[in-house]
Amino acid sequence: MQAFAAETAHDAAHGAAHAFYEEPTFWVLVAFVILIVAVGKPVFRAITKGLDERADLIKAQIDEAVRLREEAQETLASFQRKQRDAAKEAEEIVARAKAEAARLAEKAAADLESSLKRREKQAMDRIAQAEAQAVEDVRNAAIEVAVSATRRLLTEQIDEAKADTLIDAAIKDLPGKLH
């Protein structure tokens, strides 16, 4: 800078007017601009390329994230469908189990009723059999009492000759009573 100031002062003192392109400062400036453009162009390309690669990487990551999100939503929807299906199936199983339990309860009630009726009939048959046996026993006892009483009466009141005639008459009547 001091050199430029000294040269400018020197030119002003000598009165020489030079065109701006004859000045070395101008050419230094031009060379500097050319250097910046020459060096800046590859640097700009490298920066642009790096930014483009970074943008592509970010876009790929975003696309992957979108794909993963969609995949997660599909998986979630699938699991929700499976959960609904499982809940529906569980409800159907419970309904079938309730129906089966009701059917088994009805069958058990019917079986119990038929068993009770069968036992009641058996009890009634036993009662009727015992009643018939009791009637038979009473009849047999009555016959024995009657026969015994008749013997006693006959032995006490009928003499032997009359008894023999009664026995002969009973023997004659016997074939007619047996048929």
In which domain, by residue range, is 31 found? 2-178
**Cα gap 149→143, rounded to integer Å:** 10
Q: Rounded to whole angstroms, what are the CA distances from 35 to 4, 26, 38, 132, 164?
A: 21, 14, 5, 141, 177
Percentage of the residues of the chain whose pLDDT score is greater than 70: 89
Q: What are 126's two structure tokens?
A: 């036993």
Does position 146 have pLDDT exceeding 70, yes or no? Answer: yes
Q: How far is CA 174 from the centre of its chain?
A: 87
Statement: residue 142 has pLDDT above 70: yes
Q: Does residue 11 register a pLDDT over 70?
A: no
Cα 90 to Cα 78, 102, 123, 128, distances in angstroms: 18, 18, 48, 56
**How many distinct structural domains can be found in the chain?**
1
How confident is the model at residue 13, as a pLDDT? 56
CA angle 86, 88, 91 (to 5 degrees): 110
The per-residue pLDDT for 20 is 81
Q: Which residue has the higher pLDDT, 167 or 14?
A: 167
Helix (H, G, I), strand (E, B) or coil at 16: coil
pLDDT digits (tens, 9 = 90+) for 36-55: 888 888 888 999 999 999 99
Residues 53-90 have pLDDT tens digits of: 999 999 999 999 999 999 999 999 999 999 999 999 99
Q: How do residues 91-135 score in pLDDT, each as one tens digit?
A: 999 999 999 999 999 999 999 999 999 999 999 999 999 999 998
